[in-house]
Amino acid sequence: MVNRNLLGRKTRFAYLAITEPWPKVSGFAKVDLSTGDVQKYVYGDGKYGGEPLFLPEVSGYGEDCGYIMVFVHDEEKVKSELQIINAVSMKLEATVTLPSRVPYGFHGTFMSNDDLMKQALC
């Protein structure tokens, strides 16, 4: 995943799923494609989820200015949550407990109402 505002152009950062233990996704890595620097974020002990989604901040100035959102399932507690991670600091900003389990491999996207209306009119 990269900042979708830069699709088709050279990007500096990529966010890649960490599949340890295979085939479960236990976290993601932020890779600086310019320097080779890698920062890892792990969902937590016994927690696995899907691949990361980068949501750019509307007024963001840097390519990595935004949030990583990911659905995570705690196998021990049998609970699912949405984790929201600051893409610059790679720190957890918020956790939203979900009322039901989100299956592994679930894919989704976030879009503005304007973008959704443009899609509907095509």
pTM for this model (two decimals): 0.83
The DSSP element (H or E) to which 83 belongs, if any, is strand 79-86
32-63: pLDDT as tens digits: 999 999 999 999 999 999 888 899 988 767 89
**Which residues, 6 or more positions from 63, have their beta carbon under 8 angstroms from its beta carbon?**
3, 6, 11, 12, 13
Query: Residues 12, 59, 88, 84: is their CA dihedral positive or negative?
Result: negative
Label residue 104 by pLDDT band (50, 70, 90).
confident
